[in-house]
Structure 1
Amino acid sequence: MSSQEEIVIVDATNQILGRMSTHIAKLLKSGKKVYVVNAEKAIISGPRSRVLEGYSLLFTVKTMQNPYRQGIRRPRNPINIVKRTVRGMLPKNKLGKQIYRNLKAYIGIPKELEGKSMIRFDDADVSRLKGKYITVAELSRLLGGLKQ
C-alpha cells in the first residue's frame, strides 16, 4: 500500500445494505480503499418472505443456449452479497473494475483492523426503518451460503 491511499473502514452493523452501498460506492469513486467489517450484520429491508423470494428467483434463471445447465452464479455468502450490491453501483467499464478491486468485505472484524476507527452512515441506520427487515447473515443461511 502506498502512503497516499486512504483506507476507510465501514462498520456494517445495523446498516441498510442499499443505502450503505451507495456511500461506499462514492468513497470508492473518490479513490479510497474501503474495508467493510461485520458484513453479515447488514440489513435488507422488507418482509423476510419477499426478500428471500427475490433472491431465490435469481437462482432459477437459465440460459437460452443450454437450459439444462445451471444459470448464472449468484452470491450466497454475506461477503459476496455485500460486494455484489456495491458492484452494481459502480461504473460498468474498466474503471469500475479497477475501483472494485479497492473494496474488501469481512465477516466479523479481522485482527488487523481491531481498534481502528470505523465509520457508520447515519442515513443508512436501521432506526429509519418502520417495517420488517432481514439480516444478510439470515438471508445467506436461508440461501445455503452460511453454515451455522
Structure 2
Amino acid sequence: MKTIFVKPAEVERKWFVIDAEGKVLGRVAARIASIVRGKEKPIYAPHQETGDYVVVVNADKIAVTGRKAQQKLYYHHSGYVGGLKAVNFEKLIGRHPSAPLELAIKGMLPKGPLGRKLLKNVKVYPGPDHPHAAQNPQTIEL
C-alpha cells in the first residue's frame, strides 16, 4: 500500500463552530478531536495535519454525567517532592471555565509535535462570543 502525502497547499481547511451548552464533555471532545485530526476527510493521513479549525463556545456550560462533577479529579505536579495537586471538576470549571474541555481534547489528540500543532487549531471560549466571525464558520450540531 502506498503512503499518502498531501501537500499543505492542497488541503482545504474549514472553520466550524460547536455550541457545547448542555452537551456531555467526552462526546463533544471526541467529535472535536476527530474534526481537528481530519479523520472525516478522504485525504486523511495520520502523520499529517489535514484537519479543520474548530471554535467551541459556551464551554463553561458543558455537562458531565453521574457524580463526575464532584468525583472527577484533575492532577498536576509542582515539581517538588509531595507536590501532587488534585482539583475536582466543579472547582476547575469555576476557576478556568474552558480547561476541562481543553484537557479532554488534548488527551484525545496524538502526543508529540503533531498533537501540539493540532491543539492550536481548537479555540475554546467560555461564553457565547468569539472573535472568529471573519472566517465564516459553519455551525455543527452534535
Scaled to the shorter chain, the TM-score interval is 0.5 to 0.7
Q: Does 1:23 align with 2:13?
A: no
Q: Is the 8 A contact 1:28 1:99 kept in 2?
A: yes
Structure 1 residues not aligned, in runs of 5+: 122-148
Distance 1:25 1:62, change over 3 A: closer
Q: Is the 8 A contact 2:22 2:63 kept in 1?
A: yes
Deviation for aligned residue 1:120:
1.9
Deviation for aligned residue 1:118:
2.2
Q: Is the 8 A contact 1:13 1:42 kept in 2?
A: yes
Deviation for aligned residue 1:62:
5.7
Deviation for aligned residue 1:54:
2.4
Aligned residue type for 2:30: T
User: What's 1:107 paired with?
Assistant: 126
Aligned residue type for 1:82: L
* Superposition TM-score, scaled by structure 1 size: 0.63
Q: Is the 8 A contact 1:36 1:104 kept in 2?
A: yes
Cα distance in 2 for residues equivalent to 1:6 and 1:116:
7
Q: Is the 8 A contact 2:14 2:52 kept in 1?
A: yes
Q: Which has the higher helix share?
A: 1
**Percent of residue pairs identical:** 25
Tell me which of the two structures has the higher relative contact order, counting C-alpha pairs closer than 8 angstroms and 6 or more residues apart. Answer: 1
User: What's 2:60 paired with?
Assistant: 40
Give CA deviations for 1:66-103 in whole Å, capped at 9, x if unaligned: 11x46489982221111111111000121111000101
Tell me how large the CA RMSD over aligned residues is.
3.2
Give CA deviations for 1:25-54 in whole Å, capped at 9, x if unaligned: 00000110100001111111112xx53132
Deviation for aligned residue 1:17:
0.8
Aligned residue type for 1:66: V
Q: Which has the higher strand share?
A: 2
Structure 2 residues not aligned, in runs of 5+: 1-8, 39-50
